[in-house]
Amino acid sequence: MDVKEIVVISGKGGTGKTTLTASLIPYLENTVVADCDVDAPDLHILLHPRLTRTREFIGTKKATIFSEKCCGCGNCINHCQFIAISPAFIVNHLKCEGCGVCELVCPIEAVSLHDVVVGNIYEGETPYGPMIHAKLVPGEETSGKLVSEVRNRAREVAIERGCSNVLIDGSPGIGCNVISSITGASIVLIVTEPTLSGLHDLKRVMDISERFSGKTYVVINKYDLSLDLSEQIEQESNRRGHSVILRFPFHKNIVKAVTEKNIPSLSEKKLFEKARWEDFLRKISDGVKV
């Protein structure tokens, strides 16, 4: 069966990705939700999943030098491209990328590579369906792999449970996390805000979504903070052939809903109705069908 993936990203952080993702979930049927913002996962705070399974994810290898064996020749230090080995032959695990070169050049087998847990993956149930999320061990480098793993697992669960959609909360930026979360997805929703930084970051993240995935839609959050910049965002989106499918005003009640750990689209129904939430939902479901 064909599983459609809808990914919410933003370029700039703090524009309302997670708030939008959480608000969408109650309105999407047959959907598995996946939080791929693995170094700042927040969706579970609003969705309160009941965890059914937790497991560690081994995402990389790291080198260790056994000081009692080390002859101090310095080959490893000289060959390490990541400057991860100190003059005292201690490997900085935050810098080591597990390439294995130190092990290769060590004349006396004083180096070994070992598996490293880079994060935990959580599976659970929410009132709106299954949820997968993960938490990166702070400082780990392989967050893109953890993102792929969460996404793959969400697809598997969708197939097992006969769900037709996976809704993904992505991360800010344009790097490996983001590329891993959107590659090959059916729909990318970019949540932006009418600020110069928002517009700047939007252009960069649109480059990415155009290149790695299917249809791109734009959501302008807090659009009333600057009508002028909202207009510029609209023009830029249209110029690139992407439609702006939701304009949401700034309102303290949204912050209040999040602070009370409620799903804003459920606790602030009136605000959402006013912002033409139904139209937005229809455009998404039309987009999924195509």
Partner 1 sequence: MMKIAVLSGKGGTGKTTVSNNLAALNSDAILLDCDVEEPNSHIFMNPRIKGDEDVAKDYPVIDEEKCVHCGECARFCHYNAIISGPSATITMKEICHSCRGCALVCQHDAITYKQREIGKIYSGTSRFGTELVYGELKTGELSGVPIINKIREMTGEEHSILIDSPPGTACSTVAAVEDCDYALIVTEPTPFGVSDMKMVVEMLRTMKIPFSVIINKAWLGDREVYDYCREENLEILGEIPFDRDIAEAYSTGKLIVECDPKYEDIFQSLWNKIHFIGERIHGC
Partner 2 sequence: MIIALCSTGDAMESPVDERFGRAAYFLFYNTITSEMVSVINEAKTAKGGAGALAVQLLVNNKAELLIAPEVGPQALDALKKFKIPAFKQGENTTPELAVLAWGNGSLEMIKDPGNKGLHKV
Q: Which does 59 bind (CB under 5 to 8 A by kind): partner 1, partner 2, none?
A: partner 2
Q: What amino acid is encoded at 119 in this protein?
A: G
Q: State the number of CA atoms in the 13 A half-sphere of 175 facing the CB.
A: 9
The minimum distance between CB 288 and partner 1, in angstroms, equals: 26
DSSP 8-state assignment for residue 242: -
CA 277, 282, 287, 289 torsion-angle sign: positive
Question: C-beta of 152: minimal distance to partner 2 in Å?
Answer: 7
Three-class DSSP category at 62? strand
Q: Which stretch binds partner 2 (CB under 8 A): 43-51, 128-136, 177-185, 189-197?
A: 177-185
Residue 211 binding partner 2, by CB under 8 A: yes
Burial 186-198 (b: 16+ CB within 10 A, else e): bbbbbbbbbbeeb
Minimum distance, C-beta of residue 175 to partner 1, in the bound complex (Å): 5
Please count the residues of the chain: 290
**Which residue, among 215, 190, 43, has the nearest Cα to 130 in the 3D structure?**
43
Which residues ranging from 45 to 64 are in contact with partner 2 (CB under 8 A)?
A: 58-60
Euclidean distance between the first and final Cα of the chain, in Å?
Answer: 15
User: Is 179 one of the binding residues for partner 2 (CB under 8 A)?
Assistant: yes
**φ, ψ for residue 158 (rounded to 5)?**
-60, -45
Does 184 engage in binding with partner 1 (CB under 8 A)?
no
Residue 59 or 124 with smaller CB distance to partner 2: 59
Angle at 265 between CA 284 and CA 168, to 5 degrees: 50
Please say which residue, 70 or 101, places its beta carbon nearer to partner 2.
Answer: 101
Chain residues binding partner 1 by CB under 8 A are 10-15, 18, 39-42, 45, 61, 79, 81-82, 94, 97-101, 104-105, 135-136, 138-141, 143-144, 171-179, 193-198, 200-201, 204-205, 207-208, 211-212, 222, 225-226, 229, 250, 252, 255, 258-259, 261
Chain residues binding partner 2 by CB under 8 A are 58-60, 142, 144-145, 148, 152, 159, 179, 183-184, 211-213
